[in-house]
A = this chain, B = another copy of it.
Amino acid sequence: MNDSATPAYDALERACCRMHRLGHLQALAYWDQAVNMPPKGNEARAAAMAELAALLHRQRTAPAFGQRIAEAEQEPLSVLQRANLREIRRRWDADTALPEALVERRTLAAARCEHAWRTQRAANDWDGFAPNFREVVAIAREQAALLAQRQGVPRYEALVQEYEPGLRCSTIDRIFGDLRRWLPALIQAVVERQRGQSVIAPVGPFPLPAQRALSERVMRLLGFDFDAGRLDVSAHPFCGGTPEDVRLTTRFAEDDFLGALMGTAHETGHARYEQKLPRAWLQQPLGMARSMAIHESQSLAFEMQLGAHPGFVALLAPLLAQAFGSQPAFEPSNLQRLLTRVTPGFIRIEADEVTYPAHVIVRYEIERALIEGEIEVDDVPALWDAKMMELLGVDTRGNHRDGAMQDVHWAEGIFGYFPCYTLGAMYAAQWFAAMRDGTPDLDARIAAGDLAPVFEWLEARIWSQGSRWSTDELAERASGRVLDPAHFREHLQRRYLG
């Protein structure tokens, strides 16, 4: 006997909890594949992951589950339950648009392509990569067409919904169109201004154990809880695992520690969001992070807003000397110049915050056209070359490893994610503007080593909110308005031309 007034909703919560638990294993298998798995393990791993993905897909799309959602929508729910149900409904609508066989093929194709990519990228082997990638794209197009039909939106926009629900391509176009107008000139102006600046480069080598200890030290400074997570090494850094056990990865190079260190700061922003999601709701969709643009706003709040903040740089300087011994490059004002050095380059994840949006625009324009069927995989290298030259003035011809093959996203069949990085940078700027409104001495407190105001603001307004609100509502409640890219432009102008 069930005496509850909300039997259907209760059943949904139980089902979500079961799926959350299986999702835990999925996250673990993904992390292990990137961090630990030896090469001969890949085939069995891919098969196991496809099996679990199909099983989860069956659970998520079971007709009884949909029936329960419809019933629960008629039940007397609390405000939080109703928000949870909204998220359950949103996922159901997306999941039932895709047949199980497609989900299974997608998982297999992505695993195969990603695994081969690891060696193909190093070998600059576009011709080896292209056949696997064509398969990944073909499946993504099928997926996009099905989702688009269901949602009544364009195909690429339908994929974007998976990462940033409610985001319209018209919004991206408006924001990126605006960016395209002022960014190249701003890059030029900053490069010009920095041309005369003398910057002392750190002198390596930087031994990996010392780098690792430094990364962990900075993660602690940034509040990462090592009793609920780890730092490991993978080819493409990411933040994985589960909110209870967050698995960060980075990659170290002996001749450069700043890339790994700031990459770790970036992933730590993701990690803290996950570690501080509302505990009581962790097993429900309501307890999950709002969206990927909001997620990236956390990573970029940590890496860029905080990481290159003069106050934070002053905290960092002695840690570097401790890790590698003193050297002139670690003097705070020089370190500040290093961390805000603007150099148009090939690699997105090594890009400074000024040129970064240009990398994103290149990917957005290509992947959107690819999904909409306006171009084919074979067109990608030439388009890449042209757009990189146009937006950043760099010549990428023949250099696939530092070109279209540099990111793991496409190899894994992730299309529609890239815009989130730049929207995240814009949100991060907006969060810091709002923090300064509420805490006028914010910059002085950061400089004094007191990061609590930053963490408290983010925890109260973003982390603890999970998926309680839509992205627009979340932004309004947190900062008084929906996304306003003007904060980002002001931030860049103040930091780089001020």
Residues of A whose CB lies within 8 Å of any CB of B are 18, 21-22, 24-25, 28-29, 32, 36-41, 43-45, 47-48, 50-52, 55, 225-230, 241-242, 244-245, 282
Contact = CB atoms under 8 A, between A and B. Distances in A.
A274 to B, nearest CB: 12
A50 B226 CA distance: 25
Contact of A245 (B21, B28, B38): B38
Contact of A230 (B29, B36, B43): B36
A210 to B, nearest CB: 15
Contact of A48 (B24, B38, B227): B24
Given A28-B29, A52-B25, A44 B227 contact: no
A390 to B, nearest CB: 44
Given A38-B226, A45-B245, A245-B40, A25 B29 contact: yes
Contacts of A40: 225, 227-228, 244-245
B24 A44 contact: yes
10 contacts: A21-B48, A22-B52, A24-B45, A25-B25, A25-B52, A38-B227, A38-B230, A41-B229, A44-B244, A44-B282
A41 B45 CA distance: 22
Nearest to A275: B40
Interface centre among A50, A52, A226 (most CB of B within 10 A): A52
A281 to B, nearest CB: 14
A24 B29 CA distance: 10
A157 to B, nearest CB: 34
Given A21-B50, A38-B230, 7 more contacts: A21-B48, A28-B28, A36-B230, A38-B228, A38-B245, A40-B227, A44-B244
A241 B21 CA distance: 20
Contacts of A245: 37-38, 40-41, 44-45
A41 B225 contact: no
Contact of A229 (B25, B38, B55, B230): B38
A12 B346 CA distance: 52
Closest 5 CB pairs of A and B: A41-B245, A24-B48, A40-B228, A21-B51, A44-B244
